[in-house]
Amino acid sequence: MADLTPTPDRPGLHVSKPSPSAPATASAVCHCGASATATGDTQVRALVEGWSADHGPAHGRK
Ligand SMILES: [Zn+2]
């Protein structure tokens, strides 16, 4: 699992949901220096939406 965690050297967004009954977790590191983590389905969804809107591939669209 550690291999999938984003780092400043390997920026990205990673979401994990170990089982249907377990809360999702997410971690994100952007090449701009921003980073974030979230735990829980609602928080993870918000992180992914915010990240997609403002970071990661979004940088190339602005
Ligand atoms: Zn960014």
Query: Domain boundaries in the chain?
Result: 2-61
Please report the pLDDT score of residue 16 as a whole number.
Answer: 94
Distance 53 CA to ligand 1 centre (A): 10
Length of the chain in residues, anyone? Answer: 62
Q: Tell the residue number behind the tokens 């993870």, with chain if given.
A: 44
Is pLDDT at 60 greater than 90 in this prediction? no
Give me ligand 1 centre to Cα 23, in Å: 25
Q: What is the distance in A from the centroid of ligand 1 to the CA of 26? A: 16
Whether the per-residue pLDDT at 41 is higher than 60: the answer is yes
Give the H or E element holding residue 35: strand 35-39
pLDDT tens-digit map of 1-30: 456 788 888 899 999 999 999 999 999 999
Q: Say how many Å lie between the CA of residue 32 and the centre of ligand 1.
A: 4
Q: What does pLDDT average to over the chain?
A: 90
CA 35 vs CA 9, 19, 20, 22, 29: distances in Å = 12, 25, 26, 23, 4
